[in-house]
Amino acid sequence: MAEKIDERPQNSRRVFINNVDAYTSKNIARFLDLCVVGASLVFAGEADVEEEDDRLHDDQAEIKDGTFQIVGTVSSQTEEKCSFIAEQYSHHTKREDLLHHLLKCDVIIYDVTQHADQIDEAQWAVSALYEEMDRFPAAKTFILVSTVLTWAMTKPADKDYPETPLTDSNYRRRKAHPNFHRHISLEKLVVKLGKTKSSRFSTYVVASGLQYGMEEHVFHLFFKMSWMGEVSHVPIFGDGSNIIPTIHINDLAGIIQNVIDHKPKVQYFVAVDDSKNTMEDIIKAITLMLGPGKTRNVSKEEIYLIQNLTQTEIDSLLVNLPIEAPYLKDNFNIQWVSETGMVQNIEQVIEEYKESRGLLPIRMCIVGPPAVGKSTIAEKICKHYNLHHIKLKEAIAEALENLELCVRTEDEENDQDDDQEFWDTLRENMNENGGRLDDQYVIRIMKDKLRTKPCMNQGFVLDGFPKTCEQAKELFTGDGEPEDLESKHATKIIPEFVFSVNATDDFLKNRVLNLPETVVEGTSYMPEQFLQRLARFRDRNVEDEMPLNYFEDLEIHPEHLEITSDNDNEYQLIIDKICKKVGKPRNYGPILEKVEEEKRRQVKERLNEQAAQRVEEERREEEEAQHRDQRWGEWSQHLVEVKRQELDLLESQSEPLRDYLMQDVMPTLTQGLIECCRLRPDDPIDFLAEYLLQNNPEA
């Protein structure tokens, strides 16, 4: 591995970051990966020498000239390696091996704001590196990313003016929140170990404000609640007046970049933006932008009911700490993305949130003749993608209801005059038209509906509307300001997908005629009414007046789907076609839960499979054992048989010998024995042998 370091261009830096798959570290890594070493030393303007083009051709995590090469530990190895991470090591890597990896890096960053269990490791790492300092081939920098919670109990800078914010120059007086004593001890250790020989081993502490941006970290809870729109009011814990020091995650990364480039003399920094927003400011800003727009005060203790907040996260959200960071503003060269804080930049922050979490709305329009099954399809699609089903009739009824409610109640927040006027106009118009509304009002109501927070957040399926090309034009490009097609995220409502469901007149007539009378009674599916509606629909959909033309002109090519049978299977086929075209859900909520459930199901299935496999194996083993026993038995039997056969063989083979003995030897022997009895020699054996020898018939 040593050679690999030498291959690296002189000015490139190898950076280690712990937990590089978690929010803070991942975003710092992503940021540094796009930086050129030393860029923050150059003044703005010259600084952004981004080599986008080169990078595109640079598929493998090759070492780039003058850039940061990121390595780090990950908590789960299963996750796919991010493109900006050159090497990753398991969380369980042995310390001895980890030290080996650390020693190959120029910069070691330890973030302890997310997982308190990283404190021990950070403490070990800085101490171990300190011990090895004299053997470093080149100088190393250690950066601890800590939290402003180590300041939470600090006495005000000025006793007489307690509102005066603290600044980073007060850092020696800082006092930690009771749950953050270990953090502050670590901060002190890190600073101390960098004092011995800072030219070889320099150490820094960056005390970060609460991080936001991208996936939003601790604030995600409020973003998600607002986006989902399932509660009417977003809770504020306590009275909401606590000042929360914050920093955009990319600005924090920028500060770290500056520390690496500048290697300043000062070792301790506070990383916060200028905002000094209260909890109430922040939550109100989020919910106003994402919906539902209202907050409610709940007791501080209720925060404990939010199940997956850790103690660290709760302590962080409840902190009250006016603090400023003049040092970095005076000495660093930061390309701030959110210098004035989250509330001031809420629109951009929310765009980023949606993008990072893939929460992009799906907007869809389904058109087709009456009774073709648009609503059934729309309903199923809405369920699958967690979208809002928009039907003209319901939208109008809801609008009237809301207007009436606003006009009747003395609600200061709403602009009553406007509501009153619109309400009067609508009623008048309906009276004149026999209960129908003019297109202009219909369009206004639909436009408002499509611009509600839920429709903007999750998206919608527009069911059977617009009916004409004219309506489409008015609805999507009204207001005299054409929708900005370039900007992906403008408050636009133009559907991304258009489906035209069609069937022959005969089929539709047949279908309606076959509906049971109880269903049809009093609806527009009564035969005459239906035929009129169908005729009207066909009239409207002649070549140049079809709403489909409007979409064609915008290059939103409608997909044509043909219904030919009442079979449920066919509906499912149509739904499958639509889902294939639209792609994966871009939501969390039930859909994500479904995915999780599916994952769990798969895991369970795998477990079941494994269990079944084990049972099968056991069965097989048992069978084999039986087999073995059986074979053993057979074998022993066989053995006996073989022995018997051998004996037989031996016997049969010995037969000629016996015959020979009987025929040729026995008579002589008998004769010999008789002689022996008669003569009674001194040595009968000797005599017998001699006798046999002399009377051998063959001799």
Ligand X SMILES: *[C@@H]1O[C@H](CO)[C@@H](O)[C@H](O)[C@H]1NC(C)=O
Residue whose CB is less far from ligand X, 195 or 560 = 560
* Closest CB to ligand X among residues 27, 40: 27
Residue 536 in the binding site for ligand X (CB under 6 A): no
Tell me the per-residue interface mask from 168 to 207 with ligand X, x by CB under 6 A, - otherwise: ----------------------------------------
d(CA 320, CA 325): 16
Q: Which two tokens stand for residue 425?
A: 């106009």
What number of other Cβ atoms are within 10 A of residue 16's Cβ?
25
295 binds ligand X (CB under 6 A): yes
Beta strands 323-324 and 166-167, pairing class: parallel
Site for ligand X in 605-644 (CB under 6 A): none
- Nearer CB in complex with ligand X: 255/561: 561
**Which tokens belong to 90?**
């398991």
Window 208 to 247, contacts with ligand X (CB under 6 A): 220-221, 239-241
Q: Which residues pair with 278 in a beta bridge?
A: 243
User: How many residues at the interface with ligand X, by CB under 6 A?
Assistant: 13
Among 11, 77, 297, 420, binds ligand X (CB under 6 A): 297
Smallest distance from ligand X to CB 500, Å: 5
Using a 10 angstrom Cβ sphere, with 0-12 exposed, 13-18 middle and 19 or more buried, the burial of residue 452 is middle
Of the CA atoms within 13 Å of residue 192, those in its CB half-sphere come to 8
Q: Which of 78, 308, 409, 518 binds ligand X (CB under 6 A)?
A: 308
Question: At closest approach, how far in Å is the CB of 216 from ligand X?
Answer: 8
Residue 188 or 296: the one with the smaller Cβ distance to ligand X is 296
As measured in angstroms, the least distance from the Cβ of 215 to ligand X is 8
CA angle 582, 588, 593 (to 5 degrees): 105
Q: Shortest approach of ligand X to residue 504 CB, angstroms?
A: 4
Closest distance of CB 70 from ligand X, Å: 24
Reduced 3-state DSSP string for 627-696 = HHHHHHHHHHHHHHHHHHHHHHHHHHHHHHHHHHHHHHHHHHHHHHHHHHHHHCCCCHHHHHHHHHHHCC
How far is the C-alpha of 450 from the C-alpha of 427, rounded, in Å?
22
C-alpha span between 610 and 657 (Å, rounded): 68
* Element holding 223 (H helix, E strand): helix 220-228
We find the least distance from the C-beta atom of residue 533 to ligand X, in angstroms, to be 15
Residue 200: phi and psi, rounded to 5, are -100, -40
In angstroms, what is the minimal distance from the CB of 214 to ligand X? 13
- Name the residue nearer to ligand X (CB basis): 170 or 502: 502
Using the contact rule CB under 6 A, the part of the chain among 104-112, 161-169, 295-303, 372-380 near ligand X is: 295-303
* Interaction mask 482-521, ligand X, x per CB under 6 A: ------------------x-x-x-----------------
Q: How far is the CB of 23 from ligand X (least distance, A)?
A: 9
- Among 100, 155, 195, 296, which residue sits at the site for ligand X (rule: CB under 6 A)? 296
Residue 458 makes contact with ligand X by CB under 6 A = no
Site string for ligand X, 548-587 (x = CB under 6 A): ------------x---------------------------
Q: What SS3 state is found at 370? A: coil
Nearer to ligand X, 98 or 285 (CB): 285
In this structure, are strands 107-111 and 201-208 parallel, antiparallel, or unpaired?
unpaired
Residue in this structure with the two tokens 């490791």, named with its chain if needed: 121
CB of 400 to ligand X, least distance (A): 29
At which residue do the structure tokens 């494994």 appear? 610
356 or 504: CB nearest ligand X: 504
Residue 646 to residues 312, 631, 638, 639, 651, Cα–Cα distance (Å): 86, 21, 12, 10, 8
At residue 298, φ and ψ (nearest 5 deg) are -125, 165
In 3-state terms, what secondary structure has residue 620? helix
**Based on CB atoms, which residue is closest to ligand X, 254 or 464?**
464
Residue (335 or 502) nearer to ligand X, CB: 502
Binding site for ligand X (CB under 6 A): 220-221, 239-241, 295-297, 308, 500, 502, 504, 560
